[in-house]
Amino acid sequence: MVTTHFLPSANFLAIVVAGAAYFAFGYIWFSLLFNKARTAELEKAGIKISMPAGNQMLSKMALSFIGNVIGATAIAYVFHHFGVVTLDRALKVGIIVGIGFVASTLAIIYPWEGKSMKLYIIDTGHYLLGLLICSFILAVWR
């Protein structure tokens, strides 16, 4: 276990860039790749997402970006705490965190909310790949 404190040694620029990459990936994933499929699956579950107006869009995008940076910070902390310094180990940690915390949590919630397996795969895929993107950036940018 690494004994130094996280904050003094954290590469905050890398963390913000990893969060921004996660955010940009989310745009590609949800807007360009899976918008129609995800919208259809949400509507099957009785959820209708309408386009936010004006300031609502800005606040939703800002909250999404902040959430992505928090996720990148958490991955950076895990790397620091466990001494992850190689790319292969970083990607393994990203997969473990994604499956262990995100995929398992969504697997518990989605059936109770009446959401489909297709929606589960779309949403889980986003989080798993997003965490791998963060892991990659944080591992190579030391």
Domain ranges across the chain = 6-140
Confidence band for 142, pLDDT divided at 50, 70 and 90: confident
pLDDT of residue 77: 94
Q: How distant is the alpha carbon of residue 140 from its chain centre?
A: 18
Candidates 37, 38, 43, 29; CA nearest to 114 is 43
Q: How far apart are CA 117 and CA 123, in angstroms?
A: 10
Write the pLDDT tens digit of every residue in 32-80.
Answer: 999 999 999 999 999 998 888 878 999 999 999 999 999 999 999 999 9
